[in-house]
Structure 1
Amino acid sequence: MLKLIRRIFIGLVIATLAIIAIIYMYSSGRTYFNEEDEIGNTTGNIYNGGLFCEQDNLIYFNNPNANGKLYRMNSDMSGMKKLSDDMSVYINADENYIYYVRANNTRENKDDAFTKYNNTGVIRINQNGSKSMSFTSNPGAYLLLQGNFIYLQRYDVEQGLYVYRYKIDGSMERLLVKDAVKPAAVINNSLYYAGYSEDHYINALDLSSFTYRTVYDGSYLYPIFMDQYVYYIDIADDYHIYRMKQDGSEVTLLVNESCSTYNITNSGKYLYYQVDNGKKSRICRIDLATLVSETLLDGSYKQIHVTKDYVFFRDFNDTTTFMVYADGGPHVNTFNPPDLDVEKEKKKKQ
Structure 2
Amino acid sequence: MKKNTKILIGAFALLLVIFTAFFISELLHRVPPNDISVTGNTAGNLNNNGLYAESNGKVYFSNSYDNGCLYSMNSDETDLQKLTTSPANSINVGGKHLYFYMDSSSGGKGLGYVIRTYGVYRSRLNGKGVTCLDRTASVTMQLVGDYIYYQHYNNKDFTQLYKVKTDKSENVMVSESIINPAACYNGVIYFNGTERDHFLYALDTRTDTISTVFEGDLWYPAYQYGYIYYMDVSSNYRLCRYSLSDNSVEILTDDRVDTFNVGESYIYYQKNSATEPALMRMGLDGSNPEVVAMGNYEKINLTSNYAYFNAFDEPTPVYRTPVNGSINVTPFTAAEDAAAKNAK
Could you state the TM-score of these two structures normalised by the residue count of structure 1?
0.89
- The aligned counterpart of 1:69 is 69
Tell me, yes or no, if the aligned pair for 1:66 and 1:339 is still in contact at 8 Å.
no
Find out whether 1:53 has 2:50 as its counterpart. Answer: no
Unaligned ranges ≥5, structure 2:
none
- The aligned counterpart of 2:330 is 333
Q: Which amino acid aligns with 2:99?
A: Y
What percent identity do the matched residue pairs reach?
Answer: 27
For the structure 1 residues 208 and 244, does the alpha-carbon distance in structure 2 shift closer, same or farther, using more than 3 Å as the test? closer
- The aligned counterpart of 2:198 is 200
For the structure 1 residues 24 and 227, does the alpha-carbon distance in structure 2 shift closer, same or farther, using more than 3 Å as the test? same
What's the CA shift string for 1:213-239, capped at 9, x where partnerless? Answer: 211101101111111211111011100
Helix, strand or coil: the match of 1:278? coil
Unaligned ranges ≥5, structure 1:
none
Structure 1 stretch 169-178 or stretch 7-16: which is displaced more?
7-16
- The aligned counterpart of 2:178 is 180
The Cα of 1:12 is off from its aligned counterpart by 8.8
* d(CA) in 2 for partners of 1:269, 1:188: 20
Tell me, yes or no, if the aligned pair for 2:140 and 2:181 is still in contact at 8 Å.
yes
* d(CA) in 2 for partners of 1:8, 1:133: 38
Tell me, yes or no, if the aligned pair for 1:216 and 1:248 is still in contact at 8 Å.
no
* d(CA) in 1 for partners of 2:210, 2:37: 22
Q: Which amino acid aligns with 2:157?
A: Q
* d(CA) in 1 for partners of 2:218, 2:183: 14
Tell me, yes or no, if the aligned pair for 1:62 and 1:88 is still in contact at 8 Å.
yes
The Cα of 1:280 is off from its aligned counterpart by 1.0
Greater relative contact order structure (CA < 8 Å, 6+ sep):
2
Tell me, yes or no, if the aligned pair for 2:188 and 2:203 is still in contact at 8 Å.
yes
* Aligned mate of 1:317, from 295, 299, 313: 313
- The aligned counterpart of 1:101 is 101
- The aligned counterpart of 2:288 is 292
Alignment of 1:263-274 (within 5 A): 263-265=261-263, 268-274=264-270
Aligned length: 341
* d(CA) in 2 for partners of 1:7, 1:159: 60
Tell me, yes or no, if the aligned pair for 2:67 and 2:106 is still in contact at 8 Å.
no
- The aligned counterpart of 1:84 is 84
Q: Which amino acid aligns with 1:226?
A: Q
Alignment of 1:107-146 (within 5 A): 107=107, 112-146=110-144
Structure 1 stretch 20-29 or stretch 72-81: which is displaced more?
20-29
* d(CA) in 2 for partners of 1:199, 1:126: 40
For the structure 1 residues 159 and 239, does the alpha-carbon distance in structure 2 shift closer, same or farther, using more than 3 Å as the test? same
The Cα of 1:8 is off from its aligned counterpart by 11
Root-mean-square deviation over aligned CA pairs: 2.6
* d(CA) in 2 for partners of 1:180, 1:303: 22
Helix, strand or coil: the match of 1:129? coil
Tell me, yes or no, if the aligned pair for 2:141 and 2:182 is still in contact at 8 Å.
no
The Cα of 1:96 is off from its aligned counterpart by 1.1
Helix, strand or coil: the match of 1:25? helix
Q: Which amino acid aligns with 1:333?
A: T
Could you state the TM-score of these two structures normalised by the residue count of structure 2?
0.90
The Cα of 1:166 is off from its aligned counterpart by 0.8
Alignment of 1:151-170 (within 5 A): 151-170=149-168
For the structure 1 residues 295 and 197, does the alpha-carbon distance in structure 2 shift closer, same or farther, using more than 3 Å as the test? same
For the structure 1 residues 345 and 29, does the alpha-carbon distance in structure 2 shift closer, same or farther, using more than 3 Å as the test? closer
* d(CA) in 2 for partners of 1:106, 1:229: 36
Q: Which amino acid aligns with 2:41?
A: N
Q: Which amino acid aligns with 2:47?
A: Y
- The aligned counterpart of 1:23 is 23
The Cα of 1:181 is off from its aligned counterpart by 2.5
Q: Which amino acid aligns with 1:297?
A: A
The Cα of 1:256 is off from its aligned counterpart by 0.8
Tell me, yes or no, if the aligned pair for 1:275 and 1:281 is still in contact at 8 Å.
yes
What's the CA shift string for 1:288-321, capped at 9, x where partnerless? Answer: 3571100011100001111111111111021121
* d(CA) in 2 for partners of 1:242, 1:341: 39
Helix, strand or coil: the match of 1:143? strand
Structure 1 stretch 293-302 or stretch 23-32: which is displaced more?
23-32
* d(CA) in 1 for partners of 2:91, 2:187: 22
* d(CA) in 1 for partners of 2:292, 2:204: 41
Tell me, yes or no, if the aligned pair for 1:51 and 1:89 is still in contact at 8 Å.
yes
The Cα of 1:194 is off from its aligned counterpart by 0.8
